[in-house]
Amino acid sequence: MTATRIITIGNFDGVHLGHQALFAQLKEWALSLHAEPMVLSFSGNTKGRRVITDERMKEWYFRQYGLENWQILDFDQWKNVPAEDFVEDFLKHELGVVGLVCGPDFRFGKDQLGNEFTLIGRGIAVKKLENQILDDLRISSSGIRKYLEEGALEQAEKRMGHSFCLMGDVCHGKGLAHRYGLPTVNLTLSEQQLLPPFGVYAAWVEAEGRRYPAAANIGVRPTVEQSETPNLEAHILGAAPELYGREIRVELKSYLRHEMKFESEEQLFLQIQKDGEQSKARLEMLK
């Protein structure tokens, strides 16, 4: 028999403070009904934009905010399903949904014609939350996206309730940094990932439950290769284990400088050392 579930549905891009309010209400309501709380989200961005949080990062946040059950649906497979069919066939009969938590602008189904009344009319209770407000403005993924594109990480972080993070498996770089005694980790970034301006950031690298201070460069590495697609290369400050092939999470905390092309590798790595010192000082200030 299908479990009785209370759900919330959304893209949850950025997993910001507004989303976290939905999660808190979801868990509280489910607990009171002895039901299972569950999140339904979508892969990619339903409006075709680059994503603040990719699927892996989004699932990491779900766990951090105390959620154990979720499904990430392929938006293209569901966008043309009429709202009534989505409710009857999927929510009620397949998932056993008896209640849904949503925000004030909740819409779903083909042409976004479904709303809370579509659910209530089919026996699913709805709790509708107000928008979360900060500095007299509604907290939204679109607003956070604008801050990130401008490099205003601190403003984005205030509205997300956590740092802007990127996650992935460490891949091989050119190996040049090791010649200069500068341990680095490299992540290949998806074309769908929203990025702040290319440059160097004070950052934390988390791997296997430990956090390391770092200076992280996002860009195309013009001094060594001028790659076509951006990557993230983080210089870890101090001793760190071998992390190749392991999953890491990089928290970008503060912008330090724009990406530059240097005349030589020696000049580049002298600057990386300076970036590391500046990053360490900035991270100390932000504690």
Q: What is the per-residue pLDDT for 1?
A: 41
Q: What is the per-residue pLDDT for 265?
A: 78
Q: Just give the CATH number of 163-286.
A: 2.40.30.30
Q: Where do the structural domains in the chain lie, given as residue ranges?
A: 5-132, 163-286
CATH superfamily, with its number, for domain 5-132: HUPs (3.40.50.620)
What is the maximum alpha-carbon separation in the chain? Answer: 69
Q: What is the per-residue pLDDT for 47?
A: 78
| Residue 205, strand partner residues | 212, 250
CB 180 within 8 A of CB 262: no
Cα Rg of the chain, angstroms: 21
- Amino acid found at 141: S
Task: Specify the DSSP class assigned to residue 88.
Answer: I
Distance, in Å, from the CA atom of 196 to the CA atom of 159, rounded to the nearest integer, reads: 16
Q: What is the per-residue pLDDT for 242?
A: 86
* Chain-centroid distance, C-alpha 21: 17
CB 226 within 8 A of CB 145: no
Average pLDDT along the chain, 287 residues, taken 10 residues at a time: 84 97 98 97 82 95 97 93 97 96 95 96 97 95 96 96 96 64 84 95 94 94 72 89 91 94 82 93 93
**36-42 and 164-169: which strand pairing?**
unpaired
